[in-house]
Structure 1
Amino acid sequence: MATALAGCSSDGAIRLFSNDYGARTDAGYNLPAIPIYKVDRKYHRQVVRYQTDEKPGTIIVDTSQKFLYFIMEDDKAMRYGIGVGREGFEWKGTARVALKREWPVWTPPAEMIRRQPELAKFRGGMDPGLTNALGARALYLFNKGGDSGYRLHGTPEWASIGKAMSSGCIRLLNQDIIDLYNRAEIGAKVIVR
């Protein structure tokens, strides 16, 4: 059982990264600045105290609190605000990071196209870019049955962080998914609660 512990500030942050959401160029794409002052401070990337028996490098997703924790040494974790699956699209379980992609192509699954026929134009894939649904990075989650169809990915929709609006994937701010991508290794355990 994991427990977040109070840290050096009233919200548990040991170190807050609110200044890391400015504009930047990444692989030729000009990522715009996020108006981070409009995002609840608890969803800003931060190092927090987090006690768990899981080993460093594990990713724990707390869907009810809308946080993703990247487990670090010494009872600490990097915590990111996330957007999660809307009602009827939530999921829980254990998976692993099988693939990592920078500026990935997004291909909506057939069942999503049936629900949203306007997505049929992307049946062959949506090119990478600033409006791509997977954002700047994606970590592909596989379980015992193979590709789960779920991803940890960036989003251009910064206002969706802290909300339940996706079709089941876990969304992070583009600047946060770049940070997580650089930390997470292929094979990393992912626990979604």
Structure 2
Amino acid sequence: CHCRMARRPLMDLIVAADDAGGIGKGGKIPWVLHKDMAHFKEKTTTVNDSSKRNAVVMGRKCWESIPLKYRPLPGRLNIVVSRVMPESTTNDVLIRNDLNQLMDELQSIMEKGEIERVWNIGGGEIYEWALQRGLVRTIEITKIRNNFGANVFLPQINWENFKEVSVSEDQEEKNIQFTFHTFERL
């Protein structure tokens, strides 16, 4: 049903977090897990309608943490929210200074039928903004069984508003155990 989306587009949130809720350290993701990167790419690029693509919304620090050779993330509309970067628009990258105005713009882009899903890929402030406003439809979380001493954390999520609909088998890479979980808003 697209009736709910007509007012405000809902986002799908994707994140990897360690046992302490850590998501970043020193401007980077504190682990390199190829299976998690492949999972992220598959989730954020997959569309049901091949005439559309997905959008990924991120903060400036998240954008800067992506190696230059991978920027913009291919096959997706990259939307960077920053108070300090100048606003700009290209075919693959939108830089915007105001999240609320961005949501109005996203609504019109989605009404034109160009974008199928909007993925919130972080960091912490961007996650918190969407969660506080009830804009998160699903949460894809990679739970990493370790503590990496992160200094950026996933904001508090009211898990009573979500139900787990899938969990992967246990994964292991570089002696790090992790699982992929999908939660949907109730």
TM-score (structure 1 length as normaliser)? 0.21
Q: Report which structure shows greater RCO (CA 8 Å, sep ≥6).
A: 2
More helix by share: 2
Q: TM-score, normalised by structure 2?
A: 0.22
